[in-house]
Amino acid sequence: MKVKKKIIKKKLKKPDELISLTEKSLTFILRHKKKILLLGILVVLLIGTFYLFQSWERKKEEEAAEKFHQAVEKYQRLTSPFKEENVEELKGLLKEFDEIRSSFPRTSPGRFSLLYKGDLHLKLNEFDEALKAYRAFLDKAKKEKLYRFFALEGLGYAYEGKKEFEKALEAYQEILKLEEIPQWTNLYLHMARCYEKMGKTKEALENYQTFLRLFPKSSMANSILRKISKLEEDSFKGR
């Protein structure tokens, strides 16, 4: 006959670990309650400040977007091909973009106002001011690749206006480094025009021909063909 063994629970030699940890935590909190309270208040204040700042930023962005939208609508109206450009109206609009830029410098409308400022300065033949606006936009818009294209193209136009064709060419060549170039761009025409002004007929011809190869159905194809024919004829005579 089997004898049942009596199982005797061993007495715990150490206090329960969970109880011990709880006691230590409570002791620590009681000893440092003032510091913990101050730290808690500080954290709450920091979180509150962060959310207030975020709310303020959103409000500024919305306010800037509304003013920017109104200015862009006016820009489209004043620069319409069906309306004769009025210098005073363009200058007035320039002030509006200036105000958006100065009042909301941290917002995207404030940043994009630089692009419109550059374009308006170009239309007013204020080439140095246009250069400043485009450069400022390029400094701030690192990720907006499509808009960097517009700024670099504007930079090239401004240098052409100053008859600094080598610098204009450099601006246009910077566009080639962008990952995405709009399919409708006249980039090669711009570069050909600069080479032509610089007296570099061979390079001008290469760029005109590249444009025709890329855009054979362009509305400008016939005029470009005539341009190529004239350059080749002048080049032949100059030999």
Q: Per residue in 149-159, pLDDT tens?
A: 999 999 999 99
Mean of per-residue pLDDT scores for the chain: 82
The pTM assigned to this predicted structure is: 0.73
Instruction: Classify the phi-psi angles of 14: left when phi > 0, otherwise alpha if psi is within -120 to 50, otherwise beta.
Output: beta
Token pair recorded at residue 79:
């620069």
Please give the single-letter amino acid code of residue 29.
Answer: I
Is 58 inside any structural domain? no
Domain, as residue range, for 97: 65-153
115: domain CATH number is: 1.25.40
Is 87 inside any structural domain? yes
Is 6 inside any structural domain? no
Q: How many domains does the chain have?
A: 1
Is 80 inside any structural domain? yes
Q: Is 157 exposed, middle or buried, given 0-12, 13-18 or 19+ CB atoms closer than 10 A?
A: buried
Is 221 inside any structural domain? no
pLDDT digits (tens, 9 = 90+) for 149-197: 999 999 999 999 999 999 999 999 999 888 777 767 799 999 999 999 9
pLDDT digits (tens, 9 = 90+) for 23-70: 666 676 666 666 656 655 655 555 555 444 445 456 667 888 999 999
Is 203 inside any structural domain? no
pLDDT of residue 50: 45
CA–CA separation, 69 and 174 (whole Å): 30
Is 135 inside any structural domain? yes
pLDDT of residue 139: 92
Is 72 inside any structural domain? yes
Under the banding of pLDDT at 50, 70 and 90, the label for residue 12 is very low
